[in-house]
Chain A
Amino acid sequence: MTKRAPDVSASPPRRRSKYTVAPLVLIAGNVVLFALFFAWPAVIGLVYSFTNYTGVGAFQFVGLDNYQNLAGDSTFFDALTRTLLYTVLFVPLNFVFSLLIANVLVSKHAKGMSVARVFFFIPWLLSPIVVGVLWRWLFGENFGLVNHLIEKFGGSAVPWQSNADLSLLVVVVAASWAWTGFSMLLFIAAIKNVPVSYYEAASLDGAGPWRQFLNITLPSIAPTSFIVILLNTIHAMKEYPLFAALNNGGPGTSNNLLVQYIYQTGFKSGQIGYASAASFVLMLILMAVAIIQLMVNRRVENR
């Protein structure tokens, strides 16, 4: 395109202006949306994080006070560590199961693939709220099916709701269940792109399916694995509705994650400035993740 630039300037100006106007007309809608709902909030969010704004009335600049308070706020740190713990549990679990299922689904030996695929995919369609309700129904302490079964087989009811760690575990399982469909799709596409001749050569050399998986599939789909891990990490860092429906951040506030913390400080207690500072910390984490992603993408593309 750059090579053609002199051509365009040599042609009558009328035509050249058309080439500038037409694309600008086409992107106009999104430009307005971008300015109103992205650029403007991003700027005022950054500004408010240095103020004591409450959402109405006047505000004062308080310098770095919000950030200093944040550094000493144990509730914020609890939310941050809980979010990281959730991410560290959810990402590997989801990874293992979606990779397993993707492998089974591309195997040419299994029967009924296209029907089974729907079973794995439907959870991804459901909203986080419905997923939360659904798992709350299964893991209810007094009424859930799981405790019913445990009691029937002689066990005692497990405190799925009132124990903070068990409660987090249920959310982790529910989230992995719900997000399998998405990760699985990415894995299936990657596995199908591995040249089949590699496998033929390997089986001629006597490599079993497990060896083939470890030495061919896994290295070949490494870029996709990386993307799955990053997307799931970003997704997990900003999880909120699933917790809202499953245990409402409870018991108590023990499972409040970052977004819930931001929501509560910003909208329940009206400390917009303080919440903006907390958002800024979350943003830095997500930016770090996104930058790692960009760097690795570039390396992969350059190969």
Chain B
Amino acid sequence: MTTTDMPRKVDAGPGRAVPKKRPGAAGGGLRRAVPATTLLWVLAAVYGFPVLWFVLSSFKPAGDLFSSLSLFPDDPTLSGYKAAWDSANFSQYFINTAIVSVVATILTVGVSCCTGYALAKYDNKWLKVFFICILATTMLPGEVMLAPQFLVARDLGLFNSLAGIIFPALLTATGCFMFRQFFLTVPDELVEAARIDGARELSIFLRIMVPISRPIMLTLAILSFQWRWNDYIWPLLMLNDPDKFTVQIGIQSLVGAQNINWSVVLGGSVVSMIPLIVVFLVFQRYVMNADINAGLKD
């Protein structure tokens, strides 16, 4: 009902208020803490176990993979990783995916920041039209336009090139709306003051607005990095040459084979998880506090 009426002060309230009110309630607190904590950690264990089992399995030698039920590998080995890295060409896939993800992320943040600022701080009919255009992209995800998008990219000469995966992915409604939302909260007086000081429009944007939007940039960068790193179907269509494959295609081609070499699959998959988990752990608070809203689209 009133989800937005009473904002944040609620967050700070409960934790401190309770002990202050009832100093003698420690016993009751414990009685309540035990079931809640147990439930939390049972759920966490259920959610964490598949990943744990997967990662630990990847350290088992190929011979033990199917016979050993022990959680921890008896004699841990990196042979699966080594095989994936050398023989299955994973190092190449990894480099390709890294190039695509980094370049696409930088460009996405750039164009989204420009568009978001224009939509928030200027007002004319072209911007209104374009706003609706961006809204329309949320209703037509890439999956429903696979064939025509492929034909367009092919006609533009992007087939079988990394640019062919980067460019079609740059426009995201999520990114534009995140920046628009942020710049709407920046007071117009800031822009007016700079104008009175004689700053030109684009330098107001570059010198004042871009620096203050850093948190949004980081949030979008993390999201964008994740989207591009995990992309599967579009790169699969675009890339023909195994030297240009991304990690996800590499893994899928190993799993799609008649005889799956699980040792290599496990090693390769675990390696492919590492960059995302590192990025996430470092920038956790930007993702957790992200204002992810209904416009979310990858």
Contact = CB atoms under 8 A, between A and B. Distances in A.
Contact of A110 (B40, B69, B265): B40
Contacts, number: 303
Interface in A6-53: 18-27, 29-31, 33-34, 36-42, 44-45, 48
Top 4 nearest A-B pairs (CB, nearest first) are: A127-B230, A45-B148, A22-B201, A41-B148
Contacts of B37: 109-112
Given A121-B280, A193-B4, 13 more contacts: A19-B201, A20-B126, A30-B176, A34-B133, A110-B36, A133-B255, A134-B54, A143-B66, A241-B232, A263-B233, A276-B147, A282-B144, A283-B144
> Which range holds the interface residue count of chain B?
35 or more
Contacts of A25: 202
24 contacts: A18-B201, A19-B124, A26-B115, A27-B118, A33-B111, A38-B136, A40-B148, A41-B148, A41-B149, A41-B151, A42-B145, A48-B148, A101-B43, A127-B232, A133-B265, A134-B54, A177-B50, A195-B2, A195-B5, A223-B3, A238-B144, A272-B147, A280-B144, A282-B144
A240 B134 CA distance: 24
B212 interface: no
Nearest to A39: B133
B156 A220 contact: no
A1 B280 contact: no
A238 B143 contact: yes
Interface string B1-40: 1111111001101110010000000000100110011011
B53 interface: yes
Nearest to A291: B139
B220 interface: no
Nearest to B122: A23
Interface of A: 1-2, 18-27, 29-31, 33-34, 36-42, 44-45, 48, 55, 100-101, 104-105, 107-113, 116-123, 125-130, 132-138, 142-143, 145, 148-149, 152, 177, 180, 182, 185-186, 190, 192-196, 219-224, 227, 230-231, 234, 238, 240-241, 244-245, 248, 259, 262-263, 266-267, 272, 275-276, 279-280, 282-283, 286-287, 290, 293, 297
B286 interface: no
Contact of B40 (A34, A112, A123, A180): A112
Contacts of A293: 294
Nearest to A290: B139
A295 B176 CA distance: 22
B296 to A, nearest CB: 7
A196 B10 contact: yes
A263 B252 CA distance: 16
B230 A262 contact: no
Contact of A135 (B50, B111, B266): B50
Contact of A190 (B3, B147, B252, B269): B3
Nearest to A136: B255
B141 A129 contact: no
Contacts of B208: none
Given A37-B171, A238-B143, A125 B202 contact: no
Nearest to B137: A38
B262 A123 contact: no
Contacts of A276: 147-148
Interface of B: 1-7, 10-11, 13-15, 18, 29, 32-33, 36-37, 39-41, 43-45, 47-48, 50-51, 53-54, 57, 65-66, 69, 110-112, 114-115, 117-119, 121-124, 126-127, 130, 133-134, 136-141, 143-153, 156, 167-168, 170-171, 176, 200-202, 205, 226, 229-233, 237, 248, 251-252, 255-256, 262, 265-266, 269, 272-273, 276-277, 280-281, 284, 287-288, 290, 292-294, 296
A44 B18 contact: no
A39 B33 CA distance: 55
B134 to A, nearest CB: 7
Contact of A193 (B7, B229, B294, B296): B7
Given A109-B37, A127-B232, A134 B50 contact: yes
A155 to B, nearest CB: 15
B133 A37 contact: no
A266 B156 contact: no
Given A110-B37, A120-B47, A40 B146 contact: no
Nearest to B68: A148
B47 to A, nearest CB: 5
A28 B66 CA distance: 56
